[in-house]
Structure 1
Amino acid sequence: MHHLIVGPAGHGVTAYAERLAREVGAEVIREEEYGDSALPPGPIHVAFTDHLFGSSPREALEALLGRVGTRPLSVSFHDVPQRAEGERRFERRAAAYAALAAAAELAVVNSEHEARFFAARAPGAAVRVIRLPVEPIDSPFDPEPATVGVVGFIYPGKGHEDLIEALAGTEYRLRFLGGVSAGHERWARSLERHAEITGWLSDDELAREMGRIAVPVCAHRHYSASGSLMTWLGAGRCVLASDSPYTREIDAWMPGRISLVEPGSWREAVSTYRPRRVAPPVHGWDAVGAMWQREWAACGLM
């Protein structure tokens, strides 16, 4: 099976696809931007989020299916549509995602929350759940008092403004550990008056900076799955996370590691949090790769 990996280096979906390909020893077709060259014969696997494959959800769907042709197709779905995006955008994206899942021999999502979307929109599709890996991170535990941290790419919707508003006038110092997603630079400059933005960090730098944070936070307004949450858990940190179907699912899967925060309750949650570290969960890339291989074999793709 060949893995078609599309997108810029460092993009979350691209990074997931590259790491999975390494884990299973796959042949890779790598494209920074989606192309149209002929694909080799045999099964094709893609990690899909629509904006990497076309200028609209329909264009992305048609471009991918047209290029794959009659080859067996396996898809890892990311950024699954949610109604919170706005009804019009949701419907456009939902139609494309459902059609792609129906055309694939195997469709995989990262949470039961995402699987429910496909159960409603593409009930005949073969959709499986393989949760995001939680890789152990060697992060020195040396929290600085009154520091509140958010990990990962910085873009609207991750709750940065909510934290700024909630903690205004308090002693807490906000640190956003990551680079700004392309296209959101002007918006991010408005955050710099209230928080430190580190910019892109290497793995070692990120591990070190995470260890300096007293209060780890995932404040996304709308989750479907979260690599940022898994990064905190991989460092053995207990996290404050906004309450949602997804975070409730992860809390049930890995109890005792997440404190769920209702909207409007961030100041209270931060002020009562006590830093602690626990052993990281056991759900690394070796387990995730093995799960993928079992699913491919069950569908006759290996």
Structure 2
Amino acid sequence: MDYILRSIYQERASQPETLGVILVNKREDQINLTDTFDTIILIIVKEAQQPIFTKHYCYEERKVAMHVVTEDLINKWIYIGRNRRLVDWIFHGKVMFERNEYMSNLKMKLEDFSFFGRKIKAGVQFAKLVRSYHEGKEFFQRGDYLDAYNHVVKSLQYLARLSIIESGLYPEVTVWSQVKKIEPSIYKLYEELVTSRESIEKRLELLFLAIEFSMNSRIQSCSQHIMETLITKDLWTIQDLHNHHELRYYSVELELFVEFLIEKGYIIIEEIESKNESISHRLYRANTKHYHEQ
């Protein structure tokens, strides 16, 4: 079998931009980890015209998916946690090729986790939590309880990932089995939501209070990355923040996160005159006094 699969990736392995090749075989207990394919071939390249290129193959009633992914996209997925299966592939896949021990080093960096910025990952997950919480609370206040329920589930998932990150580990696909060992209190909140005999309105009301409490206790640690960025210069426009090479990982959550930190006193608004006397430019700076006092 390896010989047949080798014909798919060996030409790419010989190309100078290829950094590593991993083979991941389907496990019977986790068939969705490989999108039900029998084998995943993950090829990481330094640069490419497309950030991700995919091809499907079949042989002897087996199906194979090949993904050619740029190093930049791999790093982005690792930072924001969008493709959690990737971590499992890297940890458990069979390395078929690596240039200058690239795959071995990548595994070590993931295990250490500090390399990929625990602060960034915590900040991004917290920003997602802020959005999910606020949108869910809005649905709840309108009486749309099922939509609010969905957002509470998302919020608890972000809280679960945050607790894993704070413990120095990397959130895996089986995040709830991880968090049950690391922070049982969050796991119990999830159980309360799912199994309680209280009315859905009462369950949601209690969960929103618990989530808000957990958020408030994590503001300082989870805003550390964005605050350390803000203090590197005096004033920022919102576009400056979007353009920053690390803050771009916050993506669509960035502006809501900034407004949340303004509300909490971590960021100060500065109004600067514009050409139109009736309108001011809205700029931002870190409230370092408030931040360090927290």
> Which structure's CA Rg is the greater one?
2
Structure with the larger RCO, 1 or 2 (CA within 8 Å, 6+ apart): 1
Q: TM-score, normalised by structure 2?
A: 0.28
Which one has the bigger helix percentage? 2
Q: TM-score, normalised by structure 1?
A: 0.28
